[in-house]
Chains A and B, each alone.
Chain A
């Protein structure tokens, strides 16, 4: 039963990784990152349950806080880029080339 939680987390993480790689819309790339963060949270919580200590849940809580801050910054960057370029496709962001 414990393995099943890990397998679910592996599947969610892999789907998030594939989404991160194949999508070009910056918003959906961002959602894929959230998916991977949630998969790691699931591992932390299930391992906390397995080992009988609450430290895993604290770690998952901190991951959520960091994810929330990251979403705020990332989305405001996306809005700023959209304001300048009228697009959220990451293929268009070639102005950062050196």
Chain B
């Protein structure tokens, strides 16, 4: 500024001042950004163009001796408001494009004509205006001791009522945003006693087992949650698999789980001189399956929601021993995937436990 006054004191006028350079650079950026806001097809591009406009305006504010507004424009607008916009765009969906078909015929054309008309009207009004050369804010800020101090004196003296109203406005906006953002719960949240009551009601009316669901299958080579527990008839217990795993179709094939057992048993049976093999006394590779065969009927039959599991297993036992001529020498050894109706190893504790669980 001192350089400028010394130049004018010598009777010289500068061709171009820093303020003018700032204006032309920032005006071009601001107009380009504004057109980008309006014409971008994606909301994200519009928000970023709006950031360009706001930053350009902030620089123009700084060149107009409004240092406080320069900072507030960047912090509040570019920092807070635009980030809020971007948050909502991410929430609503980045890829949401709007339909390009006019719902009103000639709507766009009329809107553009209205915009051009407004530009002409306001530009004529501005052109008709008589403006004095800018006084500048040097005197006004020098009285208060700075831009921020001058603004503070105005805000806390002359405009203190408006400032208090602003506080009320901001509080109201914050409360309203919380109320709007809080979704209403359609039903009361079920607590533990309600869930237990529902479980017992389901057991009384539909016979759904009220206890815990069966755990996933544990075999010698597989014990992940994707391994299904097998029912007494060798089929998969559907409740032993999480719905998430089942919906991804990542459940292990039960026939593959039983395959090593079947191979081992076939090898044992094919061995010359070997008699009927009791599952309890078989060698190491069979131990896991023997345990499965012993454990699963009791566990799965207890969890079995079908009516009358005791009758089923009893039928299986008699049917299997009568109808399965392929393995007459080893009635205790099942082949679950191939013959689902074949019997499992008889468990003397099974019917007792089933009776107890039904009570």
Contact = CB atoms under 8 A, between A and B. Distances in A.
A97 interface: no
A49 B64 contact: yes
Contact of A72 (B34, B54, B119, B177): B177
Contacts of A46: 64
Nearest to A69: B173
Contacts of A58: 151, 154-155, 159
B84 A35 contact: no
B72 A64 contact: yes
Chain A interface residue bracket vs B: 35 or more
Interface string B49-81: 010011001001100111011001100110011
B198 to A, nearest CB: 28
Contacts of A82: 91-92
A52 B136 contact: yes
Given A6-B126, A15-B38, A45-B61, A27 B140 contact: no
B75 to A, nearest CB: 10
Interface in A1-25: 1-8, 10-19, 21-25
A31 B111 contact: no
A24 B99 contact: yes
Contacts of B174: 72
Contacts of A83: 183
Interface in A46-89: 46, 48-55, 57-58, 60-62, 64-73, 75-80, 82-83, 87-89
Nearest to B58: A38
Contacts of A21: 107, 111, 114-115
Contacts of A50: 131-132, 134-135
Interface of B is mostly: helix
Given A12-B31, A57-B151, A49 B170 contact: no
Interface string B149-172: 011001100110010001001101
Contacts of A62: 159, 162, 166
B137 A35 contact: no
B200 interface: no
| Chain B interface extent, by class | 35 or more
B115 A18 contact: yes
B115 A54 contact: no
A49 B99 CA distance: 44
Interface string B72-110: 110011001100110011011000101100010001100
Contact of A48 (B66, B80, B85, B108): B66
A49 B65 contact: yes
Given A6-B126, A22-B112, A32-B37, A42 B60 contact: yes
A54 B180 contact: no
24 contacts: A1-B20, A5-B23, A5-B60, A10-B118, A12-B53, A14-B119, A24-B103, A28-B98, A35-B37, A42-B60, A49-B66, A49-B136, A53-B140, A54-B144, A57-B69, A62-B162, A64-B69, A64-B72, A66-B169, A68-B170, A69-B172, A71-B81, A73-B180, A79-B180
Given A60-B66, A60-B69, 19 more contacts: A1-B133, A12-B34, A13-B118, A15-B31, A18-B115, A19-B37, A32-B38, A34-B81, A45-B69, A48-B64, A54-B154, A64-B69, A64-B77, A69-B169, A69-B172, A79-B91, A88-B96, A89-B99, A91-B103
Interface of A: 1-8, 10-19, 21-25, 27-28, 30-32, 34-35, 38, 41-42, 45-46, 48-55, 57-58, 60-62, 64-73, 75-80, 82-83, 87-89, 91
